[in-house]
Amino acid sequence: MRMSEALGVRGPLTVLALVFAAAAAAAQQAPPDPIVRENTTVKISDHVYVIPDNSVGAVPNVGIIVGTRGMLVIDTGLGPRNGQTVLREAGKLGKPAELYIVTTHVHPEHDLGAGAFPASAKMIRAQNQIRDIDEFGLQTAKTFASRTPVMAQLLEGADFRKADITFDKEHRLDLGGVRVQIISVGGTHTRGDTAIFVEDDNVLFAGDVVMQSFPAFASPYARVGAWLDALDRLEALKPVRIVPSHGPMGDLAMLRAWREYFKTLQSRARELKAQGRTAYEVAETLQAELQAKYPKWNQGVRVGPAARAAFAEAQ
**pLDDT, tens only, 177-192:** 999 999 999 999 999 9
pLDDT of 94-117, one tens digit each?
999 999 999 999 999 999 999 999
Residue 148 pLDDT > 70: yes
Strand 98-102 to strand 179-184: parallel, antiparallel, or no bridges (unpaired)?
unpaired
Tens digits of residue pLDDT in 241-296 = 999 999 999 999 999 999 999 999 999 999 999 999 999 999 999 999 999 999 99
Q: What percent of the chain has pLDDT over 70?
A: 91
Cα–Cα distances in Å, from 201 out to 76, 181, 243?
22, 12, 13
Question: Above 60 in pLDDT, residue 25?
Answer: no
Write down the mean pLDDT value for the chain. 93
**Whether pLDDT at 2 is above 80:** no
pLDDT score of 14 more than 90: no
C-beta neighbour count of 305 within 10 angstroms: 16
Indicate the domain borders of the chain.
Answer: 42-250, 252-315
**pLDDT tens-digit readout, 113-135:** 999 999 999 999 999 999 999 99
Can you name the CATH fold of 42-250? Metallo-beta-lactamase; Chain A (3.60.15)
Using the predicted structure, report yes or no on whether residue 164 has a pLDDT greater than 90: yes
The whole-number average pLDDT for the span 53-67 is 97
Q: What is the pTM of this model?
A: 0.91
